[in-house]
Every structure is written in structure tokens, then in C-alpha cells.
């Protein structure tokens, strides 16, 4: 890489198969301001280095190992701890021994613990290679983006750089720098010259220009949210919530440096089939702005929802695909703009109809209509992350999800009908949640094994969530930062509290005993073992005046049901959920008075007992998936 005035860096444990959209946007903005800038994805270099230099007997360090540390064990700080080496922190055998015990009691597998300790031995040499790479560019400013487990990797290489080149300006930004976290990071680590808190687009280019022009650092003081040093003291400018970036002003991300690095990497062959292009069509959360989910800490100080026009998003996706010869895209939005469902997805559908093979991921709310999921399928949406979180309506109300168990199940069923993969979770541990709801969920799960299984996780109290902001109002008490922070920061307790994103908690009602969760833990584990997307194990075929239901769910006795005209009509009427009275009225209006509402309800109850339908508050939802995915699109 040639000399650059600014170098932007993404450290481990960022995703390997995707460029950093944060670096991509900032690089494009700086280039638009005629600033010489480059980006380095040291996460790729780390994986290359670890695989080539790992020495653990017959074991190797694989991409799968990297992803497990990055995507699973961030909850115990493993990725950060691996990089907690000099000059950031001095060795401490007793602390490492205590951390190992903590990992063992946190259900981290022995082979991952062993690999983490072995990796730590070669991290210093890897960091030196990163430093050499930075020095080649002779940058005046080095910017680090930090989210999840990137804080310590970024801090240690930043200190190495500052020790070698004191005049280089080091800047941090990203999710780990929002609010008090960013101010405390700046106060605690004097080798960090500035921290950008919140959205960087309206701040970072002006900051860079001031530094490159040799302006007095105090002149950046009017920039919202920035932390800088004046006379050796940390100054934190308050974050102005009104200084949110207009989405139309966010440029097309520049991923050139990622792909140049990727194409020269020995990881290319492994990762190329899995490359995903991030794009951004909105920020904030329109549901959270109405009713903030109690456990959600996303969006930090910027909940306000904003989105790009459908035309602009479409143009950007097409440009990114053409530039980087890729067809798989992931929206980094926290929730899809419902206007984009109506205005953007038809544009993507036209691409599919013209023979192009675009593939999209979105996060969504589950109360989508069936025709909207059908449209998503036609538009190339292949994976969705719905905010399911539970199959209990009372617990969903505790979360402020604004949805019901029936809506969640209906979404999962329709997603399967339209060949869309849903990635969903069950969270447990909400304050004063009714244990009997888990008994009901365990029974319900026996009926749902033809649908993709969830992941199970315990409630985390995250910064910025209502549970963190006003814990007592929800029956919680914050005990302090999550346990792993003590092993990665050597700071006073107040500073660690302010740096933490995850917090340990207790319940005002008393000590929690989660034995009641064990049945669904086992049910979900079994579900994962026998689940296959090709199973088609609860389907129906529609004939003239009848339907045939074929039930091959692996946990139930295999069966086949044939329903004649009236029963078939009743079953099909339950596709979106219906009451016996609604079905009776529909039949009566069609001139069919052959069954009373009571007889219809008796048949519906038989369907529930056969696990062919789900009932909630008198509403019945059919569970079988049509063989013909175009049944009942409306």
C-alpha cells in the first residue's frame, strides 16, 4: 500500500467474509473531501497469521475456530483477552489462571480454551507485523473502528504505534465508543488522541481536515460528541442528539482495499463462496422509537429512524454488485423500512425476473403479511432475522415486542413456505417471567419441529437498554459489569463500569433458579440434531375438494390425514389464524350451513390435539406447509 494521510483499520474479531461498512463509508467520505486514505482489514491478516503459525500439537487454527471466538464467545470476552498482551497489559499468571476457570465454568469448550491460550503466545509477533504494515503507509492519522471484541486488539496495536511514532494521531470510533463508553476510553488510555462518539459522518472529515491543516486542536471542540486532548486533559464534547446524519448524504461504501487484500490472501479459496457485501438502507429502529424493547441495547444514543430512498438503495446495491462481482448482500439495518418492502423489493424482484441471482439478508419484525413474505422470496431475500425471542405471549409482553406467540409461529411457517431461512432466538431469564410458560413452550415445540430451530440464550443486560437505564422499574438490580471485564481491563471499578456494554444482574424478587428452562434446552438441542431444510416433514397437498396432510415430523409418529371439502376449507381458513366464529360466518356467507360454530370448534380442537394446528385465545393457526408454495399468497 502506498503512503496515505489517513489509514483506517479493522482489527479482529470482525467478520472475515465481509468488508467493514464502517471503514467503507468513512473512506468514501474522506476521498470525497480529497483526502488520501487507505483501509486495512487486519482481521484477515490475523486469520492468515494464526493458521500459519499456530502450534498446538496436531491441532490447527481454522476459520471455524475464528468464527466461534468472534460470534459466540464475545459474551465471555475471549477475543479481547487473547489480545490483552504487552504493551497494553503486563502478564499475570494468577489472573490468567482465574480467567481460565471462569471460561470453564462458562461452558466454553476445552479445545477452544486451549486454542485461545496458544494463540495468545503468538499475538505479539502478529501485532508487530501489523505495526510494520501501518508504518509502510506513513499515515498522519490512524482510525480504528471498534465493536464487540475489537476494543483490546485496537488498543494494543494503537499503543505500539504511539510508542514508536508519537506524532501519529490515533482516533477511535464505533459502537464501543458511544456515550460514556467513548469518553471513558479516551480518559483511560492516553495514547488515544481522539474518540468519535455516535455517527462519524458529520464529524470525522472535519476532524481530519483540521489535523492535516495543522489547526489548533481546540478548534474541533464544536464537533458534537468528539473527545480530544487539550493541555494533556481529556475534553468530551457533549453528544448532540440532533446531529444525526441524513441518510441521503451517506456515500456508497468503498470496499476496494478489502477486496484487494482479500484477493491476495490465502483465505480466498476458503471464503470466496461465503463473501457477503454489507449495505445500509436505514438507521435507528422505527419500533424502538415507539416502544423500546426492554432488553435491547442497539442504536445507543441514536434510536431515531431514518432511511434512504428506495431508488438510492437500489442504485447502490447494483453498483456494489457490479464493482465487486458479488450477488450476496446483507442489510446492516436494525429493522427493514416498511416503505422499502413496498417500494424497493419490487425493484429487486424485477432483477430476479430478468434472470439475475441476487441474495439478500434483512432483520425484520414478525408481523409481516403473507404477501410481503411472498414478495421477499421473489425479490431474492433468502435469509431473515425476525425478532421472535419467545413463543410465549405473556413473556413477549414483558419484552414490549408488540407481537404474540401466534404471530411468531405464523411468520416461521410462512418463511418456510417461501423458502426463506429464519434465524431466530429464544431468550430466557426475564424478571418475574412465569416458569409455567416454559412448560407450555416445551410442549409447543413438539409441534414445530418441521420449522427451523432457534438458538437459546440467557438474558443479557446491555447498556442503553431499558433494563440498564431503569433496572429497578423492571425488578432488576445491576450488580456491575459482566465478569469478563475484570480480566481485560486494569482500571478502577468506576472506569470499567463506564467502559462495559454488558452487565451482570440480579432479581429484586430473589435468587433466580432456571431449572424450568432445562426441558426446552433439551428440546432445542434435539431439534437441532434432527432438523434439515430439505425435510418437508409436515406438508399438505391440495386436491379438488380435499387436502392430504403428510406428517413425517421426526419426534412424532408418522401419519397421513385426508380432509374432505368442509374440513379442508376449515384447515385452509386457518392459514393466517382464525376463530371458529369467523370460519362459521365465512361458510355461512358462502351458503354452507352444514356445520355449527360449535362443531367447527370441536374439529379445530382435534387439529390442535393432533399437533396440526396451534390455538391461542380462541384463534387457530394451521401448521402444515403447502407443497405448492403459491397457495394462498394473499
- Digit-coded pLDDT (tens) for 42-52: 999 999 999 99
Question: Within 10 A of 167 (CB to CB), how many other CB atoms are there?
Answer: 6
Kindly indicate the confidence band of residue 632, based on its pLDDT and cuts at 50, 70 and 90: very low
Q: What is the tens place of the pLDDT at every residue in 323-351?
A: 999 999 999 999 999 999 999 999 999 99
% of the chain beyond a pLDDT of 90: 90
Q: Across the chain, what does the average pLDDT equal?
A: 95
The CA–CA distances, whole Å, from 442 to 105, 426, 446 equal 26, 12, 7
Q: How many angstroms separate the first and last alpha carbons of the chain?
A: 54
* pLDDT reported for residue 339: 97
Per residue in 212-225, pLDDT (tens digit) is 998 876 666 556 78
Angle, helices 63-71/42-53, rounded to nearest 10 degrees: 130
Q: Is the pTM of this model over 0.85?
A: yes
What pLDDT score was predicted for residue 224? 77
**Residue 594: pLDDT over 50:** yes
What are the structural domains of the chain? 6-236 (no CATH), 276-460 (3.20.20.70), 538-626 (1.10.10.10)
Mean pLDDT of 352-368: 97
What pLDDT, on the 0 to 100 scale, is given for residue 633?
47
Identify the helix (H) or strand (E) that includes residue 458.
strand 455-458
pLDDT in tens, 56-110: 777 899 999 999 999 999 999 999 999 999 999 999 999 999 999 999 999 999 9
Cis peptide before 15 (omega within 30 of 0): no
Query: pLDDT tens-digit profile of 129-148?
Result: 999 999 999 999 999 999 99
What pLDDT, on a 0 to 100 scale, did the predictor assign at position 241? 60
**Window from 152-166, 210-224, 360-374 with minimum mean pLDDT:** 210-224
CA atoms lying within 13 Å on the CB side of residue 316: 25
Amino acid at each position: 500500500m502506498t503512503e496515505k494521510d489517513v489509514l483506517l483499520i479493522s482489527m479482529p474479531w470482525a467478520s472475515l467474509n465481509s468488508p467493514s461498512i464502517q471503514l467503507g463509508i468513512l473512506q468514501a467520505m474522506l476521498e470525497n473531501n480529497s483526502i488520501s486514505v487507505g483501509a486495512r482489514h487486519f482481521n484477515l491478516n490475523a486469520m492468515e497469521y494464526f493458521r500459519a503459525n499456530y502450534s498446538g500439537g496436531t491441532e490447527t487454527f481454522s476459520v471455524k475456530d475464528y468464527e466461534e471466538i468472534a460470534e459466540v464467545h464475545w459474551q465471555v470476552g475471549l477475543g479481547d483477552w487473547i489480545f490483552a498482551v504487552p504493551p497494553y497489559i503486563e502478564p499475570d499468571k494468577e489472573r490468567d489462571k482465574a480467567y481460565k476457570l471462569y471460561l470453564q465454568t462458562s461452558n466454553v469448550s476445552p479445545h477452544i480454551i486451549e486454542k485461545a491460550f496458544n494463540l495468545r503466545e503468538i499475538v505479539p509477533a502478529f501485532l508487530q507485523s501489523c505495526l510494520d504494515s501501518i508504518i509502510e503507509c506513513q499515515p498522519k492519522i490512524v482510525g480504528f473502528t471498534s465493536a464487540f471484541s475489537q476494543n483490546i486488539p485496537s488498543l494494543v496495536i494503537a499503543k505500539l504505534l504511539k510508542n514508536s511514532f508519537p506524532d501519529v494521531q490515533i482516533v477511535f470510533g464505533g459502537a464501543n465508543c458511544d456515550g460514556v463508553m467513548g469518553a471513558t476510553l479516551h480518559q483511560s488510555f492516553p495514547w488515544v488522541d481522539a474518540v468519535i462518539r455516535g455517527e462519524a459522518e458529520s464529524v470525522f472529515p472535519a476532524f481530519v481536515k483540521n489535523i492535516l491543516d495543522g489547526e489548533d486542536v481546540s478548534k474541533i471542540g464544536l464537533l458534537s460528541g468528539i473527545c480530544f486532548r487539550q493541555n494533556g486533559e481529556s475534553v468530551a464534547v457533549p453528544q448532540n442528539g440532533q446531529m444525526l446524519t441524513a441518510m441521503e448524504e451517506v456515500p456508497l461504501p468503498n470496499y476496494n482495499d478489502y477486496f484487494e487484500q482479500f484477493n491476495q490472501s490465502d483465505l480466498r479459496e476458503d471464503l470466496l463462496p461465503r463473501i457477503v457485501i454489507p449495505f445500509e438502507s436505514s438507521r435507528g429502529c422505527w419500533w424502538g422509537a415507539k416502544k423500546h424493547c426492554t432488553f435491547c441495547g442497539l442504536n445507543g444514543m441514536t434510536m431515531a429512524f431514518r432511511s434512504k430512498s428506495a431508488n438510492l438503495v437500489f442504485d447502490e446495491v447494483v453498483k456494489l454488485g457490479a464493482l465487486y462481482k458479488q450477488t450476496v448482500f446483507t442489510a446492516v439495518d436494525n429493522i427493514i423500512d416498511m416503505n422499502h418492502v413496498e417500494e424497493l423489493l419490487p425493484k429487486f424482484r424485477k432483477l430476479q425476473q430478468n434472470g439475475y441471482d441476487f441474495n439478500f439478508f434483512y432483520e425484520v419484525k414478525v408481523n409481516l403479511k403473507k404477501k410481503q413474505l411472498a414478495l421477499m422470496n421473489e425479490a431474492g431475500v433468502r435469509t431473515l432475522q425476525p425478532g421472535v425471542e419467545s413463543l410465549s405471549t405473556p413473556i413477549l409482553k414483558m419484552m414490549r415486542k408488540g407481537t404474540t406467540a401466534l404471530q411468531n409461529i405464523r411468520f416461521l411457517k410462512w418463511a418456510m413456505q417461501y423458502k426463506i431461512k429464519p434465524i431466530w432466538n429464544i431468550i430466557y431469564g426475564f424478571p418475574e417471567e412465569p416458569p409455567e410458560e416454559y412448560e407450555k413452550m416445551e410442549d409447543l415445540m413438539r409441534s414445530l419441529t418441521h420449522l427451523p430451530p432457534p438458538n437459546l440464550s440467557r438474558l443479557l443486560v446491555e447498556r442503553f437498554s431499558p433494563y440498564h437505564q431503569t433496572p429497578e422499574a423492571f425488578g432488576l438490580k445491576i450488580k456491575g459489569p459482566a465478569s469478563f471485564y475484570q480480566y481485560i481491563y486494569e482500571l478502577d471499578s468506576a472506569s470499567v463500569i463506564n467502559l462495559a456494554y454488558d452487565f451482570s444482574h440480579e432479581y429484586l424478587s430473589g435468587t433466580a433458579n432456571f431449572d424450568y428452562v432445562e426441558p426446552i434446552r433439551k428440546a432445542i438441542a434435539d431439534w437441532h440434531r434432527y432438523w434439515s431444510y430439505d425435510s418437508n416433514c409436515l406438508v399438505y397437498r391440495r386436491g379438488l375438494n380435499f387436502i392430504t396432510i403428510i406428517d413425517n415430523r421426526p419426534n412424532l409418529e408418522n401419519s397421513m390425514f385426508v380432509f374432505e371439502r368442509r374440513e379442508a376449507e376449515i384447515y385452509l381458513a386457518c392459514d393466517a389464524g382464525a376463530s371458529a366464529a369467523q370460519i362459521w360466518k365465512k361458510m355461512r356467507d358462502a351458503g354452507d350451513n352444514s356445520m355449527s360454530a360449535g362443531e367447527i370448534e370441536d374439529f379445530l380442537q382435534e387439529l390442535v390435539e393432533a399437533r396440526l394446528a396451534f390455538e391461542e385465545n380462541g384463534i387457530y393457526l394451521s401448521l402444515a406447509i403447502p407443497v405448492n408454495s403459491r397457495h394462498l399468497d394473499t
